[in-house]
Amino acid sequence: MPSQALFPKAKPGRLAIMKPPHAEADQFDPELYCLLHDGTEGDIAFYKHLCKHQAQVLELGCGAGRVSIPLVRQGSFVVGLEQDRGMLRLAAQKRAQLRQSLREKLALIQGDMRRFALNALFDRIVIPFNSLYCLGGEEPVRECLSCCFAHLKPGGQLAFDCYPMYRGEPPFEALQGWLTTLKSGRQTYDVYENSVQDPERQQFAVTYTYKDGQNRAFAYTLHHYYLFVDRFRPLLQSAGFTRIQERLGFKGRQRDGQRVWIAEAPQKTSQSPKEDPT
């Protein structure tokens, strides 16, 4: 774990710990989750480029270390914050496989990304792969962005990606049926998806069922509380961010199913966060 002396001090506070709200049912298996959900093409390369030559990086919703570990490998000290104990166990196992000089650059913390207080300021904060949609709605996202602003060095940057949702679009049709076949060691799983949208609550509920060769089934449900794309800029501005960039996809030119935001903390942090203009 990086020494606290490596980081300038942030506002003191207690790290909030909570049970994970993003998955329900006792059958949530972090290994099966990671087997199916491996990010969006190009996201690791994007976050590596953003964090290149940056000393201290915070990843919120770090999961099993899919993004954090590549950032450590290219030279940054990384703090990964994750609320699910099972995912943190996987991240810790991967950390243990690194050589000592890299292990010392990765700190793993269980905590709530809506309300956290770390004794550190960071050059970059990243929130990959729709993690903001796991928080429960606009107000928790607002809390998270404010915490991010408080933990950035002057001139530091926050970056995150989410799939775009637009006002006035017709609801998505419910999806139900076979999705894919996955292999884990000697075990093979057929994966089925049941996806339902609630437009009134701006919510997707997606149930994944894994069936193995003995026809045993394991299922869990993920809930995404999405925001419309026109809400992110006002929320970032109300948190105090400036120079906000919005990109189509990770290469900035193509639509790959994700919208990417990069927001910068002002060089002088004396100004207070602005009120949401809407």
pLDDT band at residue 21, thresholds of 50, 70 and 90? very low
Instruction: Judge whether 53 lies within some domain.
Output: yes
Q: What is the pLDDT of residue 23?
A: 43
- Count of structural domains within the chain: 1
Q: What is the pLDDT of residue 162?
A: 96
Instruction: Judge whether 204 lies within some domain.
Output: no
Instruction: Judge whether 109 lies within some domain.
Output: yes
Q: Are 161 and 130 in contact (CB under 8 A)?
A: yes
Q: What is the pTM of this model?
A: 0.88
CATH classification of the domain holding 239: 3.40.50.150
Q: What is the pLDDT of residue 12?
A: 28
Q: What is the pLDDT of residue 8?
A: 33
Q: What is the pLDDT of residue 268?
A: 73
pLDDT at 7 over 80: no
What is the pLDDT of the chain when averaged over all its residues?
87
Q: What is the pLDDT of residue 203?
A: 96
Average pLDDT over residues 184-199: 94
Q: What is the pLDDT of residue 275?
A: 52
Q: What is the pLDDT of residue 173?
A: 82
Instruction: Judge whether 56 lies within some domain.
Output: yes
Q: What is the pLDDT of residue 26?
A: 53
Q: Give 149: exposed, middle or buried? Use CB within 10 Å, 0-12, 13-18, 19+.
A: buried
Instruction: Judge whether 74 lies within some domain.
Output: yes
User: Mean pLDDT lowest for which of 7-11, 79-83, 130-134, 189-193?
Assistant: 7-11
Instruction: Judge whether 217 lies within some domain.
Output: no
Q: Give the rounded percent of residues in the chain with a pLDDT score beyond 90.
A: 77
Q: What is the pLDDT of residue 15?
A: 26
Instruction: Judge whether 119 lies within some domain.
Output: yes
DSSP code per residue over the chain: ---GGGS------PPP-----SEESTT--HHHHHHH----TTHHHHHHHHHTT-SEEEEES-TTTTTHHHHHHTT-EEEEEES-HHHHHHHHHHHHTS-HHHHTTEEEEE--TTS---S--EEEEEE-TTGGGGSSSHHHHHHHHHHHHHTEEEEEEEEEEE----TTPPPPPPEEEEEEEEEETTEEEEEEEEEEEETTTTEEEEEEEEE-TT--EEEEEEEEE---GGGHHHHHHHHT-EEEEEEESTTSSS-SS-EEEEEE--S-TTSPPPPP--
Instruction: Judge whether 221 lies within some domain.
Output: no
pLDDT at 1 over 70: no
Condensed to tens digits (0 to 9), the pLDDT of residues 196-235 reads: 999 999 999 999 999 998 989 999 999 999 999 999 999 9
Condensed to tens digits (0 to 9), the pLDDT of residues 26-51 reads: 578 999 999 999 999 999 999 999 99
Q: What is the pLDDT of residue 174?
A: 82
Distance CA 19, CA 83 (A): 7
pLDDT band at residue 180, thresholds of 50, 70 and 90? very high
pLDDT band at residue 254, thresholds of 50, 70 and 90? low
Domain that holds residue 128: 8-24+38-166+228-264
